[in-house]
Amino acid sequence: MKISVIAALLLASTILPASAQSGPTPQEQMACRGDASKFCADHIGRPPQMNACLRENKTKLSDSCRKVIESHGG
């Protein structure tokens, strides 16, 4: 259980570009958590690679995650 929580926290911190003016809100993190795990799990803990992966998979993302990525320039 602890490993899942740690993995979720690491994942949530890598969802949006570091260059964004503000970090992702908790709601934005939750919107993309499942998609990031499904399509980009190899990039957890590596924000630039995670963001690139999410942008590359934008057509496969859930509507809510796609909106988050697009709202942050992806």
Q: Which two tokens stand for residue 22?
A: 């503000």
Q: Which two tokens stand for residue 55?
A: 């942008």
pLDDT tens, residue by residue, 10-21: 555 555 444 444
Q: Is 14 exposed, middle or buried (0-12, 13-18, 19+ CB in 10 A)?
A: buried
pLDDT tens, residue by residue, 19-62: 444 667 899 989 999 999 999 999 998 888 988 999 999 999 99
pTM of the model: 0.68
